[in-house]
Amino acid sequence: MAKKKQFKKELADMEENFPQWYTDVISKTEMVDYSPVKGFMVIRPYGYAIWENIQSAMDKRFKETGHQNMYFPLLIPQSLLEKEAEHVEGFAPEVAWVTKGGGKELQEPLAIRPTSETIICDMYSKWLHSYRQLPFLYNQWCSVVRWEKTTRPFLRTSEFLWQEGHTLHETKEEAEEETMRMLNIYREVVENELAIPLVVGRKSEKEKFSGAEATYTIEAMMHDGQALQSGTSHYLGQNFTKAYDVTYLDRNNEQSYPFHTSWGASTRLIGGLIMVHGDENGLVLPPRIAPVQVVIIPVAAHKEGVLDKAYELKDALKGSFRVELDDSDQSPGWKFNQWEMKGVPVRVEIGPRDLEAGQAVLARRDTGEKITVDLENLEQEIGALLEEIQKNLYQKALKHRDERTSEAKNMEEFKKNLQEKPGFIKAMWCGDRACEDKIKEETGATLRAIPFEDEQEVIGDGTCVCCGKPADKMAWFARAY
């Protein structure tokens, strides 16, 4: 017992102190570290590899739908940022400013981009001339800075990595179609690759992006019952194109303003990945997004043929999977614990007895189950097991979300549900901002999404959970990160 305990990493109890568990996991798995500037994080190789896999999954889909990558400057002149009044008002508290350059005061302060609609529209005004050029389908991968008061790595940092798409279209209908297309790409990546079930819908007027006509969102449920906004897509109408004088000669030979969209997802997804799938032993990573899908652990590596066979297996598997071989001089027990902590989906154990029998032992990270397989079928068995793990993680997360989802017909029931079973609450809402504000003030819960028409339902007698007046919208509420 004592020997087993020495291999156990010290993690906070996730049921008693989930925030500390999260901090322990990201530090002990070397995903991230804290920089000298508060709120800025150093993403270490293991954490960045997860981001690269997310980035690859998204970028592939962006390009398949005709989008091209570009890059726009980090610094935005103050005069440019202030052209769209609603936008600048929404971001003003979070903007970081550069006021000196080369030791001299700048003639005009420069904002470090909190988002890029302003500078991109300024460039679009130079580039767009005719309807024949439309649509503009562009995206950039970059970082942005928003001066946050309270930060937590991946979830909310003053600087974070993301992608932001910015497209222009001839008609409102085309722009709205693009807005939904990109929302669905986010949904596909997060559900299929990250194995995270989502609530999808429209944000309220209060919660929408500054300067948007409409904002659509994907929302995930974390282990502790709090929601996480995981990606947003915005229909911007002509708000920015008019403010920045983006015009073109239309099909009637007249000057027109194009319709505009923007959409973004960030490294916050990594935080969601950790908090949805992680367990008391650390990370649990879905195979499609895991930096290492298979780790080979030689047992009794000093025995003849064991290490040679382990290297042989790695060479045989590396063409099909992201595979690592741990040939360090640590004990097998230490290695098991370490790679379990890092969330690797499948562990391959090979020792002297396995060599004699022509077999290996496969251990699943998601369930802890071990199975013995013939070496000649190893690649096929691992492939099938990875697919099974991917599906199981999604179903497990879906079950958790459903168990954490309740209905409320009045404020008393709303508060009781939030106290006894924190999670999503489905409730009717009259559409009044005052009711939305009151719910947040009294419970800390915010309106996360208004479902689309085909997912709408009537809760109770169809009256607003807050004021009791007739309501025609059901909405999802939750406390959120």
**Cα–Cα distance for residue pair 449/202, rounded to 1 Å:** 5
pLDDT attached to residue 3: 40
Task: Say yes or no to pLDDT of 8 above 60.
Answer: no
140's enclosing H/E stretch is strand 136-145
Q: What contacts 363, CB < 8 A, 6 or more positions away?
A: 336, 346, 347, 349, 369, 370
Q: How confident is the model at residue 4 (pLDDT cuts 50, 70, 90)?
A: very low
Phi/psi of residue 117, nearest 5 degrees: -50, -40
Q: How many CB atoms lie within 10 A of CB 8?
A: 11
Percentage of the chain lying above the pLDDT 70 cut: 98
**Mean pLDDT on 189-196:** 98
Q: Are 228 and 220 in contact (CB under 8 A)?
A: yes
Q: Residue for token digits 């920045």?
A: 244
CA 202 to mean position of chain CA atoms:
18
| Matching fold, domains 18-277 and 294-385 | no
Task: Say yes or no to pLDDT of 218 above 60.
Answer: yes
Residue ranges of domains in the chain: 18-277, 294-385, 405-478
Q: Hey, what amino acid is at 386?
A: L
Q: What contacts 361, CB < 8 A, 6 or more positions away?
A: 348, 349, 350, 354, 370, 371, 372, 373
pLDDT attached to residue 156: 93
β 424-429/405-407 pair status:
parallel
82-116: pLDDT as tens digits: 887 676 677 788 999 999 999 999 999 999 999 99
Buried b (16+ CB within 10 A) or exposed e, 23-43: bbbbebbebbeeeeeebbbeb
Which CATH fold would you assign to the domain 405-478?
Translation Initiation Factor IF3 (3.30.110)
3-state secondary structure of 452: coil
Task: Say yes or no to pLDDT of 6 above 70.
Answer: no
The upper half-sphere exposure of residue 233, i.e. CA atoms within 13 Å in the direction of its Cβ, equals: 20
Helices then strands, counting H and E runs in the chain, come out as 15, 23
pLDDT attached to residue 82: 85
Token pair in block for residue 203: 């944000």
pLDDT attached to residue 23: 97
Task: Say yes or no to pLDDT of 222 above 90.
Answer: yes
402-453: pLDDT as tens digits: 999 999 999 999 999 999 999 999 999 999 999 999 999 999 999 999 999 9
Q: Decide yes or no: CATH 2.60.40.10 for domain 294-385.
A: no
**Mean pLDDT on 58-78:** 97
339-395: pLDDT as tens digits: 999 999 999 999 999 999 999 999 999 999 999 999 999 999 999 999 999 999 999
- Is residue 282 left, alpha or beta, with left meaning phi > 0 and alpha meaning psi from -120 to 50? left
Q: Residue for token digits 């282990």?
A: 223
pLDDT attached to residue 342: 97
283-315: pLDDT as tens digits: 999 999 999 999 999 998 789 889 999 999 999
**Cα–Cα distance for residue pair 239/71, rounded to 1 Å:** 23
Q: How confident is the model at residue 5 (pLDDT cuts 50, 70, 90)?
A: very low
Q: How confident is the model at residue 9 (pLDDT cuts 50, 70, 90)?
A: low
**Cα–Cα distance for residue pair 291/322, rounded to 1 Å:** 7
Which CATH fold would you assign to the domain 18-277?
BirA Bifunctional Protein; domain 2 (3.30.930)
Q: What contacts 46, CB < 8 A, 6 or more positions away?
A: 29, 30, 31, 291, 342
Q: What's the chain's average pLDDT?
A: 95
Q: How many CB atoms lie within 10 A of CB 455?
A: 13
Alpha helices by DSSP H, 92-237: 117-127, 172-188
Residues in the chain: 481
Alpha helices by DSSP H, 75-163: 78-81, 85-91, 117-127
**Cα–Cα distance for residue pair 92/263, rounded to 1 Å:** 20
The region of weakest confidence among 115-124, 141-150, 211-220, 300-309 is 300-309
Q: Is the dihedral of CA 391, 394, 400, 405 positive or negative?
A: negative
Q: Are 258 and 240 in contact (CB under 8 A)?
A: no
The answer, yes or no, to whether the previous bond of 135 is cis (omega within 30 of 0) is: yes
